[in-house]
Structure 1
Amino acid sequence: MKVVVALDSYKGSLTAVETCNIVAQAVSEAIPEVEVIKVPMADGGEGTLSALVQASDGFKVPLKILGPLLQPVDTYYGVLGDNKTVVIEAASIVGLTMIEESQRDVMRASTYGMGQTLKSALDDGYQKFIFALGGSVTNDGGFGFLQALGAKFHNASGRELEPIGASLPEISSIDLIELDKRLSDCEIHVASDVDNPLCGKHGASAVFGTQKGATKEMITFLDNGLANYASLLETALDKTLQNNPGAGAAGGLGFALMAVGGRVQSGARLVANATSLGDQLEGADYVITGEGRTDEQTQFGKVPVVVAQMAHEHGVKPILLSGSLDGHLESLQSHFVGLYSIISRPMTTFEAMSNASSLLHFAARNLATLLR
């Protein structure tokens, strides 16, 4: 028997690598003769870099850059096992969790460090990139990202502006003459699980601003600022991008990446392709997938459904094993041969998250006994 283990992280408790290791161990204990293949998964959010590096036997490259509040931070980018593809993750460079909630300031947050990281990878000779955009604390439209790569943003008096959200309405002119010429030779894939435009009621500020600490007044300010910035950048590029699906990802960083040739894709599907999940499913009997919380949103391109779709394409039976199951999940039943939660008795969310490792192991081993 061959079983593929392809879980996402249990956010706040276990990384994707950890969930896959635990389930693989439990399955092996229950069925000693089984062949288990681990493929850690992600959808473009926190953990995507580690999942891809682990699955491809790649490595991380440490570097020092400016973080989300333009403070010095130690971070890294990932290189996949092909030694050609670099993964740059917003959550580890301009991440929400990098700043204490009381210190978050969406008006001063910047994607400058994302541009520094790309420039460092370009200096190291890489030309193929995967950007994972989930989990950012920024809302500058990628203004900082572009400035770090050589673009110039000036106000009406000709002063170059600080690359933060608060500066967006002041932008009067954009000069792309010094934008890094190497970008034209790059292949840029953008992993995102959101399809929001840059501006408006469905845009970056309106939909995601509150979770980054923005008040209603700030949201209006930032949305107007992004509209000003986008109009000027589109004129400079002679392109229309701000209404493209995914332009509003990571506070508008998706828009800036499109401006330099990036192509937004389903994060889960991109990760599945990068980890060769399809090849790993060949000849398998079952695939076990899951996430921290499965609810009605899971059907919209989240990791478990993408894994299930690929499993069906290869004649493999998919099983869902998530931290919790919530809501009306009838629509998911057609994707899986079974839907399971690791919760074995009544308990608080805190208790479940604190004991996620042992709960997952117990549930996975019990499940595996049914597969013998």
Structure 2
Amino acid sequence: MKIVIACDSFKGCLTSKEVATCIEKGIYRQNPKHEVVSYVIGDGGEGTVAAFHHTCHGTLVGIDCVDAYMHKIKAAVTLIDDGQTAVIEVANIIGLSMRDRMNRAPLFTSSYGVGMVIKKVAALGCKKIIIGLGGSSTNDGGMGVLMALGARFYDENHQPLLSQALSLEKVRYLDIKRLNRFDGIELIAACDVKNHLLGENGATYMFGKQKGLFPNQIKKIERGMSNYRYQLMRYSNVDIDSFEGGGAAGGIGAVLIGLLNAKMKPGIELLLSYSDMEEKMKDCDLVITGEGQSDRQTKFGKVPAGVIEVANRLHKPTICISGALGLEYMDLYDLGFVGIYSIADRAMTFDQALSQASDKLEAATFGIINTIEYFKESHS
């Protein structure tokens, strides 16, 4: 068989490339004569820079910046299109997985580092900047991004504010006259969500819990975000709650679209536009995709949904092998999958699942391919 592998990373566990390697091992273990074509994939979240770098044969550059806690770090950026386009990701600047769960402090995290990176890659002469928005640890409404680009925020006493979620309700005055809007540079926000900034499906209510906010904090921060939106509207005449995708990355999406004129595009769709994957699929027998957890969110622009859309056009059978299966995963069969599998073969702790993921992914793949080959031979 000729098999195409195009899987997202298993977040916090295996990179997209590592996932592909494990699946390849399982395939070759069943029969070393199989032909395998693998792709490094990202949907705007963790691994997006690596995916574009691998796909476009880019040049990696380390950019000095700060993380969500304002500690100095160096973030990887890839330059593609002969250096005319830069690809960055918030996940390797202010990413949720950059700090363990017990030590996260979402009330105090800032998106400032993302603004620093955008500003520095623009100074390299890039004409286009692709910004992957998935996997952030912040919920500051993009205040940090704006401050890194020249904006200033003040409280009722005209005292300067820090860029963090706790400051949102304190904003009363702002100065955006010196905001760098990157005239002549195309900004693209690569994102897999359509959530607006506010409301039950907005940045805080939908994603705040996974970033570590408690229920009582979520209500407080939502009130603060509403005030922040109102104050920005007073000074800019832009309602940052009016944009689909504005709730991405704790509100970074809203300010990128509303104040910096960025275009919002699905991350997987954007990556595939640079890839030859569709061409390689034309004569394949099977497509394998997957992600850390497949659930009801998968169909909204996640990697498996993007991959099977291509496979469906070519009438190629596609299976999904993921770390875990969550709520309403059965609905994904409606997308056209012929099989959806989890590598978890018994009850285990989260740490056990992470440590055993490589072996279990290889074993699960072997079993699936072995079953397919058996039925092929028995019906030939």
TM over 0.5: yes
Indicate yes or no: 2:271 matched with 1:271.
yes
How far apart, in 1, do the equivalents of 2:361 and 2:99 lie? 30
CA contact (8 A) 1:17 1:54 kept: no
Aligned length, in residue pairs = 370
> Is there any run of 5+ residues in structure 2 with no aligned partner, and where?
none
Q: TM-score, normalised by structure 1?
A: 0.89
Deviates more, 1:310-319 or 1:333-342: 333-342
How far apart, in 2, do the equivalents of 1:291 and 1:260 lie? 31
Indicate yes or no: 2:78 matched with 1:69.
no
CA contact (8 A) 2:152 2:176 kept: yes
AA aligned to 1:358 is: D
Q: CA deviation at 1:253?
A: 0.9
| Residue 255 (structure 1) aligns with | 254
How far apart, in 1, do the equivalents of 2:131 and 2:15 lie? 19
Indicate yes or no: 2:161 matched with 1:161.
yes
> Is there any run of 5+ residues in structure 1 with no aligned partner, and where?
none
How far apart, in 1, do the equivalents of 2:327 and 2:22 lie? 26
How far apart, in 1, do the equivalents of 2:38 and 2:147 lie? 40
| Residue 148 (structure 2) aligns with | 148
Q: CA deviation at 1:78?
A: 2.4
How far apart, in 1, do the equivalents of 2:331 and 2:100 lie? 38
SS of residue matched to 1:299: coil
RMSD of Structure 2 on Structure 1 (CA):
2.5
CA contact (8 A) 2:193 2:300 kept: no
| Residue 287 (structure 1) aligns with | 287
Q: CA offsets per residue over residues 199-223 of structure 1, 9 Å max, x none?
A: 2333222222233333344323322
AA aligned to 1:244 is: F
| Residue 198 (structure 1) aligns with | 197
How far apart, in 2, do the equivalents of 1:146 and 1:175 lie? 10
How far apart, in 1, do the equivalents of 2:298 and 2:100 lie? 29
Q: After the TM superposition, which residues 199-278 of structure 1 pair with which residues of structure 2 at under 5 Å, given as runs?
A: 199-258=198-257, 259-278=259-278
Distance 1:294 1:99, change over 3 A: closer
| Residue 320 (structure 1) aligns with | 320
Indicate yes or no: 2:179 matched with 1:179.
yes
| Residue 331 (structure 1) aligns with | 331
Q: CA deviation at 1:147?
A: 0.9
| Residue 96 (structure 1) aligns with | 96
Distance 1:186 1:133, change over 3 A: same
Q: CA deviation at 1:172?
A: 2.4
Deviates more, 1:129-138 or 1:168-177: 168-177
AA aligned to 1:363 is: A
Identity, in percent, stands at 34
Distance 1:100 1:151, change over 3 A: same
CA contact (8 A) 1:184 1:261 kept: no
Structure 1 consecutive aligned stretches of length 4 or more whose deviation exceeds 6 Å: none
| Residue 353 (structure 1) aligns with | 354
How far apart, in 1, do the equivalents of 2:24 and 2:81 lie? 22
Q: TM-score, normalised by structure 2?
A: 0.87
AA aligned to 1:78 is: T
Distance 1:25 1:241, change over 3 A: same
CA contact (8 A) 2:49 2:76 kept: no
AA aligned to 1:338 is: G
